[in-house]
Structures are given as C-alpha cells and as structure tokens.
Chains A and B, each alone.
Chain A
Amino acid sequence: MYKGPADWTLIGEVKNNPRIHIPIFGNGDIDSPEKAVEYRERYGVDGVMIGRASIGHPFIFREIKHYMATGQQLAPPTIAERVEAARTHLRSSIAWKGLYEGVVEMRRHYGNYLKGLPNVKEMRLRLCTERDPAVLEDLLDEVIGNYAAEAA
C-alpha cells in the first residue's frame, strides 16, 4: 500500500495558500531527523506527524528534537535502552490489557525493538512463545547480558 514516496509538494502548497491559517502538519515517510528538518524547511509545515518510524523506535522523537536543536545526531539508543523500552512496553501492556492479552499482544513488538541485533531470531522466538511475564523479563535481561558479552 505504501510503496510510492509521499508527495509533500502539495502539502507545502496547502500550507502556503494565503487563505489557510490553520496549522498544517505534514505526514508520510518521515523516518529520520534529517528528513524531518529537510521537510520542515522545504515545505514550511507547522509540524510533522510520525507513524511507522516510531514503531519499535519511540526514540525518533527525541532524535529529531536533538537534531533540530543542535544540528548534531543524537547517539542511537543503546541495546540496553532498547530492551528497557520493550520491557516498559510489556509491563504497561499487561497493566492495561491484563495478563493474557498484554503478553500476547506484545509479541508483535519484540522484533521491532530488537531489530538489527545479532542472532535475534532465536530470542524473538522465545519471547513470542513465552507466557510467564517473569520469564519474559529474564529473557530481556538475557538479551542485555548477551549483548554486553558480545560487545566486550
């Protein structure tokens, strides 16, 4: 459904229409701080809306803000930060949805949080078949431990 690039030109034209005084926010394909800044400058929108790039990577918001404020890239989140984000997500998922649904609905997210980690496939399988939240937390600790071992 989303194979072609977003057409921002027309969004810019709407923003620059002298009749329009409501805020216009652009949306579509923003997946990096550079793009957010580039589109801001090029199309003059009042802000941007981010969808898919935030999935498994809620850090995108602070990354864009940092880049806008300093012109420098914020260091990417560490593995530990990414795993902690998954853990927070899991915990609040259980708190809000209940034990069963919280655990099950979290399964679609692990892959996004752990994307690009070495040997993540097996760990993802274990996370996605486990029902006990205590074991899930241990598995997340294991990811952090494995990575620390590998990085050492």
Chain B
Amino acid sequence: MPRIGPIDLGEFPLLLAPMEDVSDPPFRALCKQHGADLMFTEFISSEGLIRKAAKGMKKLDIFEQERPIGIQLFGGSEDAMEEAARIAEAVRPDLIDINYGCPVHKVVNKGAGACLLQDVDKMVRLTEKVVKAVKLPVTVKTRLGWSEQTKNIMEVAERLQDVGIKRSASTDARGHSCTRALRIGR
C-alpha cells in the first residue's frame, strides 16, 4: 500500500495532476468529490513566491477538505527553492512537490522544470536542499529524460531517492516535447 511519509494513500491511488490554470481550488473540489486520492496545486514559481508575488500567494490557497494535498514548486535556483519550500510549508500542505518535468519555454529558460534533467548533480543538490529545509515529505514529478536520446530517469530516481524524496511520478518523454524544449535553448 503506497505511503508518502505519514500519508496512507490506499491500495491504488489516483492522483490529480498539477495543471497550470486548471487544478485550482474550484476544480480540485470537483475532483475530490469524484474520488481523487491525492491532488496538487498548479505549479508555483519559487522566485515569485519569495518575492511574495500575488499570483504565487494565491496559489498557496489550500483547504482542509482537499487533504491530502501537495504544493508544487518550480525553480532553477537552489536558494530560492529552499526559501520557497519554507513559505509553502507554512500554509500546512501534506507534502511539497518539485516540478522537474515542465518543458514550457518560460520555465526551461530559467533553468527550471525539465531543464534540470540535463544537470542531475544540480537536481540532486536542489532536491536535497528542499528535503532538508522542510519537515514535510518531498516528492518530485519528472519525465523520463530531457530528450528521446537522454532518458536518464533510472539514474534520477535512484539518486533522488538517496537524498530523501518520497515519491517520483514519472511522466513520459516524448521526442517532440523535448525537441520543442531544445529549440527554446537555441
């Protein structure tokens, strides 16, 4: 029976994926009502959060009836992620989730999201900082690799497990999503 830290998720949990502009509290309420076992906020920029930007703060809104709920953070700076994790912990979610999967332009450009799959050492350091910064369980959501040719999820999973993550939701690495991300770095 899968557990994340103290959270017992039942026999075969169904998770609602974090989705920007979709998985907000109104939508999450419906998913919860219809049986989602674990839900996540939309992703929140660590840089925005440490500046207390309104957009990020609003996304920290979580409700008792949503539990268990994870707050998802993204960022490319270890210090910003560490501080953002503490800010997120203060609103008392059940876990903190790190986004290592997002291929969209504005995220990858900042060295965040899927970009970190190209620098596993940094990914490990960043994860460890977040794990040490908070008492809550830390999970990651990632994809199989940065590109079709560099699927390094096995190394990533082992090394992140070693620094204390509690779950890895592997998503797919489709060639073209990565092509698109690579094009961004041009």
Contact = CB atoms under 8 A, between A and B. Distances in A.
Interface of A: 1-8, 10-11, 13-14, 17, 19-29, 36, 40, 46-52, 54-55, 58-62, 64-65, 68, 85, 88-89, 92-93, 95-97, 108
Interface size class, chain B = 35 or more
B25 interface: yes
Contacts of A21: 161
A89 B26 contact: yes
The binding surface of chain B is classed by DSSP as mixed
Contacts of A40: 12
Given A10-B144, A10-B153, A20-B157, A25 B172 contact: no
Given A1-B177, A51-B19, A58 B171 contact: no
Interface of B: 2-4, 9, 12-17, 19, 21-22, 24-27, 29-31, 33-38, 61, 103, 141, 144, 151, 153-154, 157-158, 161, 165-177, 180
Contact of A23 (B3, B26, B27, B175): B3
Given A22-B167, A49-B15, A61-B14, A14 B153 contact: yes
A25 B167 contact: yes
B56 to A, nearest CB: 16
A47 B154 contact: no
Contacts of A13: 154
15 contacts: A4-B174, A5-B174, A7-B144, A17-B157, A25-B15, A25-B169, A29-B172, A46-B13, A49-B15, A54-B31, A59-B34, A61-B16, A85-B30, A89-B27, A92-B29
Contact of B31 (A1, A5, A61): A61
The 6 closest A-B pairs by CB, nearest first: A6-B172, A51-B17, A61-B35, A47-B13, A49-B15, A92-B26
A7 to B, nearest CB: 5
Nearest to A24: B168
A62 B3 CA distance: 21
